Structure 1
């Protein structure tokens, strides 16, 4: 049995700049300010997206809504099954809350699940 790790967080940001938002996320999730790249690879059709290199079989992705440019999403995708000898995960561990906790002190982000 293999397990996978995933997570996603949705928020708005007045900056409306994917590169600036990705830099903030990079500092909080990877302790570096230049972890994201991939504009040229179009891993999400018609959605502005940047992503990190895989770390421990995980990829962090930041996407911007092309219609509502103040809306963003952060996803963590488990890619371990793409490496030789590993099966597709049969169990998943959701780390969305952990991602949210690491981004929670960012004053320019307003999380979409907040009621207030």
Structure 2
């Protein structure tokens, strides 16, 4: 999920090409709706977005779908460091700086051992 359509679409195509089921969202609110309907095992989300940002989306997901793993991406190094802090409940958070390498995304998904990604 990324408010930059080209980033979200490209990541979605890369992940789908590796055999994962993908839903792409361009806002936190749209992503929350997809998470509710789709119940993915993993979510890849930008941190800085208008409206519901990545942190707010993560809190929403962690409360309603704690089984979903989240990978944050951001061009802001300070936000990456903040995102890597432990989430409520002692769960570690994953974060990567933009530009994100496809191999890093796929490594995250392999670690999740899932077939569904948002």
Q: TM-score, normalised by structure 2?
A: 0.29
Larger Rg: 1
Q: RCO (CA 8 Å, sep 6+): is it higher in 1 or 2?
A: 1
Higher helix residue share:
2
Q: TM-score, normalised by structure 1?
A: 0.29
Higher strand residue share:
1
